[in-house]
Structure 1
Amino acid sequence: MKKIISTPKAPAAIGPYSQANFVNGVLYISGQIPVNSETGNVEEGIEKATHQVMKNLEAILTEAGLSFSHVVKATIFLKNMDDFAAMNEIYASYLNPESYPARETVQVSCLPKNVDIEISVIAHQF
């Protein structure tokens, strides 16, 4: 059974997709960009942007009754791979170092709203 997960504490979907789908104990969260759901503003600069993306992901995880400790897979899209070190430090600060998820990070030429970063995750209800 599929359950749609949605919270006003993360940006609303800007297209034909859900913030997240919960299927058989697995939560699939759509890519989150650094939009502040309270103001609608896009956070600029990789540090602020990464924090905002992680807060958006956390809000969706919380709505589903999960946390970052449940995340088993992450996909990170960066507009500039030179931002990797700064992003990686902030990303890691939200996670338990004893249970990091699997992950890939790729550089892309363009992201929605011309942001610098987008992250999607998959979490598992243990």
Structure 2
Amino acid sequence: MNSIEIMPDLINDKDDQFNVAKAQDSNCELINNHFVNMSISASYDLHIEFLNSFLLLKECFEFHFELEEIYYLNESNKINFFHKLIHKIFLKSLCCIEKSIVESKEKRFLILKNVRNWYFDHMNDFK
């Protein structure tokens, strides 16, 4: 189950910050679960399972960025513009990364490390 399937009912009321925070927390939990699944898949050299988790992770990122942009980055200024641009660049880079998943076990570990580091850095920068 991905974030998009379980979240829509949480964000119907755009003024309800509690629901937005709840949706973000649930999505962050899903993201962390996908990181764990990717790590296990990489350890056992299961590239199809790794790819499936990667694709679900990408959907979670899209949902996470959408929430950020709607609720926190809606004011028009240079910082928010740059932040949104970072989202677009990262999502495009995930599309490129997706093609290299089948290369090797080591490559999958490197992908996992880089994506996880980027996400945690992004979360720390956003706080």
TM-score by length of 2: 0.32
Structure of higher CA gyration radius:
2
Larger proportion of helix: 2
RCO higher in 1 or 2 (8 Å CA, sep ≥ 6)?
1
Provide TM-score, normalisation by structure 1: 0.32
Determine which structure has the larger strand proportion and give its number: 1
